[in-house]
Amino acid sequence: MSKRREPAQRSRARHKKSSASSYIPIFGGVLALAILGAYMLTRPPPVDPSTFCAKDSSSIGITALLIDVSDELTNAQAARLQNEIAAISSTSDERQSAFLKKGDKLVVYFVEAEGEAPSMVFSMCHPGDVVNRSVSDSLSQGKIIANKKWQKFKTDTLMNIEKKMDSSSNLDTSPLIEAIQYIRSKDFPPPAVMDQSNEYQFVIWSDMIQNSDESNHFSELGSYKTVLKNNPMDLKGIGLSVFQLRSKRYSRYQTNEHVAWWRKLIAYANGELNGWDPI
């Protein structure tokens, strides 16, 4: 007895199904290569495990935080400082740009007595918080590790600031301009080679009452041009934000004219004042 032949249409359908199945491994391989290629292109740059800073320092933005405790902060001012540090990478309708972005370096200084350089108590790069993680971040490290890095950054910042504040005593002088000049020279790139694609910011916590032989606001405001002539600095490309520590004791000095003096000095030094927030 002869075998019954399979209909040609069914045979062709089976052949097509078999042919399509053979392409599945190829499609899978291409997709895997595409994902791998996308990750290689977008993966974070290699960083120092102790500072979280990229080994290529040219791509690092910088935020310098200068704290003036020549007079003790009130409880409310100290609490606000802690909250601002915790929210240093946050944005809002009022604050369109974060003080610090992932990968940017934060350096924290305290104003010291006249004749002394400001003391640096902290220097580390922002590892990124767990809320705003990119796809490449998720592929490169788990959420638990990312959270540990963020917690270390935040805890170390606050711990070093609080330790310095607890050990500080009231100062007879407050050389703010000299401190700003020092930090500008030490931590920011020279003006001629600044990379404008990076973020450069200067955040100041102070009553803003300059008190040194160079300029003494307790006596008179004087000429901001003369101050800059004696203390030359170029703040071009650096955004400044001031948290002015208000005090009843110094209310007669913390006037509108006092604020205007600082605004003029910053503008004359080519800086940009992004905010003046009385605390």
In order, the DSSP letters of 132-159 are: S--HHHHHHS-HHHHHHHHHHHHHHHHH
Residues in the chain: 279
pTM strictly above 0.95: no
Local structure of residue 177 (DSSP, 8 states): H
**Coil, strand, or helix at residue 236?**
coil
Q: What is the pLDDT of residues 86-108, one digit of tens each?
A: 888 777 777 777 788 888 999 99
Percent of residues in the chain assigned helix, strand, coil, to nearest 5 = 45, 15, 40
Rounded distance, CA 106 to CA 157, Å?
Answer: 9
* Structure tokens given for 197: 């694609």
What is the reported pLDDT for 38?
A: 46
Rounded distance, CA 75 to CA 82, Å?
Answer: 11
* Structure tokens given for 116: 């002394």
Residue 200 CB burial class (10 angstroms; 0-12, 13-18, ≥19): buried
Residue with tokens 């069914």: 10
Other Cβ atoms within 10 Å of 218 Cβ, number? 11
Largest CA distance in the chain: 122
What is the reported pLDDT for 279?
A: 93
Q: What angle do CA 7, 13, 18 make, to 5 degrees?
A: 125
Q: What is the pLDDT of residues 7-57, one digit of tens each?
A: 555 555 555 555 556 656 666 566 555 544 544 444 556 777 788 888 777
Residues forming beta bridges with residue 277, ordered by sequence position: 243
Asked if 172 and 212 count as a contact pair (C-beta separation under 8 A), the reply is no
Rounded distance, CA 188 to CA 109, Å?
Answer: 14
Structure-model confidence comparison of residues 199 and 59, the more confident one: 199
Res. 139: pLDDT tops 50: no
